[in-house]
């Protein structure tokens, strides 16, 4: 056996080995605790609760406690502008003095949105569409119109606005709706010398109905038939009639003429 092998079995070697291991452990422990003491590990200032506070109060509080801060903004509907809605680090977290605290506040000015197209929409459809655009329904009033709850006008600040009008997100708009009753009377259309198809279209467009059609004389071309008389007819003394009134027509063959209606 070599001298080195014999030395490894001696008490002197064992004592030296144990001493070396102990020395390493002591050095590591001293370094660990010295580093913690040097960096003030575990020491710090708790971050104050800023969420829900006004931005001015939050900035003053952070400055008083020795913190820095950076501010971002976001639009949140129904939350008062200038209110803190997020903070990083969270409240109660221990941080070193001078640490930057990141704040998110509700913007002081809402972004503009364009009024969506609500033409021919019902109240329910308009309500859903406006909500999707971040707008609200204010007052609703009714006006004479055949269609019930149809959007007739949109007002903002008392002024009629049209599709595409820019207004702040979260704004309230007032709606003017049809009452479903419409006018009790409508103007009698003047149908003399119109071809039959045009007369039918005018009658329906006025909210009236087609009554009896009387064919006068020989009809050889049904595509060339014109109105020669109507009842009721538009006169100086009678210009309106009730909605749905039946209009009776007398028609004849041939080109349009300026002949006076026959009775």
Whether residue 104 has pLDDT greater than 70: yes
Q: What is the pLDDT of residue 7?
A: 57
Q: What is the pLDDT of residues 125-168, one digit of tens each?
A: 999 999 999 899 999 998 877 778 889 999 999 999 999 999 99
Pairwise pLDDT comparison (44 vs 162), residue with the higher score:
162
Nearest to 101 by CA among 119, 80, 118, 86: 86
Cα separation, 47 vs 70, whole angstroms:
14
Going from the C-alpha of 103 to that of each of 54, 56, 61, 214, the distances in angstroms are: 11, 12, 13, 82
DSSP E strand boundaries for the chain = 45-46, 68-74, 84-88, 94-95, 100-106, 112-114, 136-143, 148-156, 159-160, 166-168, 172-179, 185-187, 209-216, 225-231, 240-242, 246-253
Q: What is the pLDDT of residue 6?
A: 66
Q: What is the pLDDT of residues 239-262, one digit of tens each?
A: 888 877 899 999 999 764 444 444
233's tokens: 């007819």
Contact 250, 230 (CB under 8 A): yes
Q: Determine if the pTM surpasses 0.85.
A: no
């Amino acid at each position: 056996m070599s001298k080195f092998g014999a030395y490894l079995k001696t008490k002197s070697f064992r004592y030296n080995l144990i001493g070396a291991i102990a020395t390493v452990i002591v050095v590591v422990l001293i370094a660990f605790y010295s580093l913690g003491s040097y960096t003030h590990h575990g020491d710090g200032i708790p971050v104050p609760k800023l969420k829900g506070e006004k931005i001015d109060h939050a900035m003053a509080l952070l400055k008083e406690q020795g913190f820095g801060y950076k501010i971002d903004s976001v639009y949140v509907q129904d939350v008062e502008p200038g209110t803190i809605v997020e903070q990083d680090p969270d409240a109660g977290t221990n941080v070193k003095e001078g640490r930057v605290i990141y704040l998110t506040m509700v913007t002081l000015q809402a972004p503009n949105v364009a009024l969506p197209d609500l033409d021919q929409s019902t109240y329910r459809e308009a309500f859903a569409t406006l909500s999707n655009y971040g707008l609200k329904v204010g007052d609703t009033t009714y006006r004479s119109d055949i269609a019930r709850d149809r959007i007739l006008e949109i007002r903002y600040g008392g002024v009629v606005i049209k599709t595409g009008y820019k207004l702040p997100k979260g704004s309230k708009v007032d709606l003017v709706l049809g009452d479903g009753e419409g006018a009790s009377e409508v103007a009698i259309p003047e149908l003399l010398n119109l071809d039959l198809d045009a007369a039918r279209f005018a009658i329906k467009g006025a909210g009236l109905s087609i009554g009896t059609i009387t064919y006068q004389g020989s009809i050889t071309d049904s595509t060339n038939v014109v109105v020669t008389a109507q009842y009721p007819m538009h006169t100086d003394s009678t210009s309106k009639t009730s909605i749905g009134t039946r209009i009776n027509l007398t028609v004849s063959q041939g080109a349009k003429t300026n002949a006076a209606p026959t009775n």
